[in-house]
């Protein structure tokens, strides 16, 4: 480019956006607003709420804010006009941790009851009773008794004071909405001796479960990419583990692998003479395994859960890989056959490079989904026998131990582990040549 043309291009004013283009742009942004709101409400909202709770010392019982509770009784039950009875209020603070401030009770006295509110905290205006109790300490309980004279109008109406519950106005501190934060949840998580072992189990389970699903899917796609009779039926059958309800297939595996008399696999192994006794596939943490003259601990229950994970989710990999295989041109395979390449060489040098892109995407998706997996492990082992992962730990901290803050802190750790993995993946993942 000459110097004059370069100078002219640099001095050319920027292209102005026409009115029609501006209106189209505004319309496009307006149409994106619902999608943006859905993303904020469904994705970012719960995520931010989880981060918020992770810095709170909140227990499961703290979800219900402190409130005054009242039980109203008229004792003894009036029988005739002129009876002198007692209107009794039993009040208490529902919270054992938080106090109540400026508690005021308002109640409407039924017609026919003449009250004598001698208590200095109460005042009666017409039929409206108002009592100021001030501050109530956590777990505080007290009674309020007011003498009452019964008139005939009350007996004729047949009303009861509890038919109109007392109303309260008060101020209380809600731990979820307050601005009191703490790092104790994260200190508890990282100082726990179990956390690092649980993290190792999570990574072991995720990596091998993901690789197992990819390898099985790759072999299945390679087999069913070849035309033969009954191929379509076999393709449909291969999808069964993925489309079947997880609770059904999980309990089927539990029955098959049961160490008791009803366990099908153990019965077969003992009939064949492969084992001397039943093997507790889902309840035994580790078994000694000799290899190269050494005895190592083989994680039995964890390996069984990984096998279930690979078996259940390989159909997804199978579908994606098969679709990519069918889009590859057959010309290079024909040329490779002419050159004398074996099927293994064709797969290694031709198919695999073409599949690296889809395999990388599948590895990312399956890694994230497997790391977040909870239902499979919980249904098979409940997190026992060395199969406790971070997601199971979230459940146990939040609901079994009623510590929502600690459970949210573990969930935050899960989020950052997956975020770190995703960043590393996008940095070094191979690209599909197709």
Q: What is the DSSP string of 275-317?
A: -SS---TTT-S-EEEEETTEEEEE-HHHHHHHHHHHHHHHHHH
C-alpha dist (Å) from residue 394 to 66, 277, 401: 26, 36, 10
Instruction: Respond yes or no on whether the N-terminal peptide bond of residue 193 is cis (omega within 30° of 0).
Output: no
Q: What is the pLDDT of residue 307?
A: 95
What token pair was written down for 227? 């035309």
Q: What is the pLDDT of residue 409?
A: 93
- Residues in a beta bridge with 403: 59
**CA triple 310-312-314, angle to 5 deg:** 60
Q: Give 232-241's long-range contacts (Cβ < 8 A, gap of 24+).
A: 235/322, 238/315, 238/318, 239/315, 239/319, 240/315, 241/311, 241/312, 241/313, 241/314, 241/315
Spatial separation of the C-alpha atoms in residues 159 and 379, rounded to whole Å: 53
Spatial separation of the C-alpha atoms in residues 234 and 228, rounded to whole Å: 10
pLDDT tens for each residue of the chain, 434 residues long = 445 554 544 555 555 567 788 888 888 888 888 888 888 888 888 888 899 999 988 887 777 788 899 888 888 888 888 888 888 999 999 888 888 999 999 998 888 888 887 788 898 888 899 999 999 998 899 888 989 888 888 888 765 655 678 899 998 887 888 888 889 999 988 888 889 999 999 999 999 999 999 999 999 999 888 888 888 888 888 999 999 999 999 999 999 998 877 788 988 888 888 888 888 899 888 877 777 777 777 889 999 999 999 999 999 999 999 999 888 888 888 888 888 888 888 888 888 888 988 999 999 999 999 999 999 999 999 988 889 999 999 999 888 888 889 999 999 999 999 999 989 888 877 655 44
Domains in the chain and their CATH numbers? 68-172 (2.60.40.1170), 186-428 (1.10.3720.10)
Cβ–Cβ under 8 Å, residues 401 and 410: no
Spatial separation of the C-alpha atoms in residues 90 and 101, rounded to whole Å: 18
Spatial separation of the C-alpha atoms in residues 173 and 309, rounded to whole Å: 45
Spatial separation of the C-alpha atoms in residues 46 and 52, rounded to whole Å: 10
Spatial separation of the C-alpha atoms in residues 101 and 231, rounded to whole Å: 73
Spatial separation of the C-alpha atoms in residues 177 and 66, rounded to whole Å: 13
Cβ–Cβ under 8 Å, residues 121 and 133: yes
């Amino acid at each position: 480019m000459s110097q004059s043309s370069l100078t002219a291009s640099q001095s050319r004013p920027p292209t102005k956006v026409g009115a029609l283009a501006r209106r189209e742009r505004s319309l496009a942004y307006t149409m994106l607003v619902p999608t943006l709101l859905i993303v904020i409400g469904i994705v970012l909202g719960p995520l931010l709420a989880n981060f918020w709770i992770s810095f709170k010392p909140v227990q499961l019982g703290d979800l219900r804010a402190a409130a005054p509770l009242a039980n109203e009784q008229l004792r003894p039950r009036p029988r005739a006009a002129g009876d002198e009875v007692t209107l009794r209020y039993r009040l208490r603070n529902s919270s054992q941790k938080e106090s109540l401030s400026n508690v005021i009770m308002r109640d409407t006295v039924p017609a026919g009851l003449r009250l004598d509110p001698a208590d200095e905290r109460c005042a009666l205006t017409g039929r409206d009773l108002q009592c100021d109790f001030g501050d109530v300490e956590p777990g505080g309980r007290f009674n309020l008794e007011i003498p009452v004279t019964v008139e005939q109008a009350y007996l004729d109406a047949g009303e009861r004071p509890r038919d109109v519950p007392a109303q309260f106005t008060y101020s209380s501190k809600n731990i979820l909405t307050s601005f009191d934060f703490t790092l104790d949840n994260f200190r508890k998580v990282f100082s726990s001796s179990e956390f690092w072992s649980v993290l190792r189990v999570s990574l072991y389970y995720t990596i091998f479960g993901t690789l197992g699903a990819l390898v099985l899917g790759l072999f299945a796609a390679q087999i069913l990419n070849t035309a033969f009779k009954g191929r379509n039926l076999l393709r449909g059958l291969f999808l069964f583990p993925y489309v079947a309800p997880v609770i059904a297939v999980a309990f089927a595996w539990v029955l098959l692998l049961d160490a008791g008399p009803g366990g099908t696999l153990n019965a077969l192994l003992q009939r064949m003479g492969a084992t001397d006794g039943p093997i507790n596939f889902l309840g035994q943490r580790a078994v000694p395994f000799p290899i190269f003259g050494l005895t190592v601990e083989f994680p039995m229950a964890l390996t069984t859960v990984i096998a279930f994970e690979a078996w259940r989710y390989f159909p997804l990999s199978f579908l994606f890989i098969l679709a990519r295989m069918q889009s590859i041109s057959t010309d290079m395979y024909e040329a490779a056959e002419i050159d004398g390449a074996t099927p293994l060489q064709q797969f290694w040098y031709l198919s695999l490079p073409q599949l690296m892109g889809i395999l990388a995407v599948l590895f990312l998706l399956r890694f994230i989904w497997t790391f977040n997996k909870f239902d499979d492990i919980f249904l098979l082992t409940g997190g026992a026998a060395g199969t406790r992962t971070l997601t199971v730990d979230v459940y146990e901290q939040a609901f079994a131990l009623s510590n929502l803050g600690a459970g949210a802190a573990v969930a935050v750790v899960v989020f950052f582990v997956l975020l770190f993995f995703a960043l590393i993946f996008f940095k070094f993942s191979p690209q599909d040549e197709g």
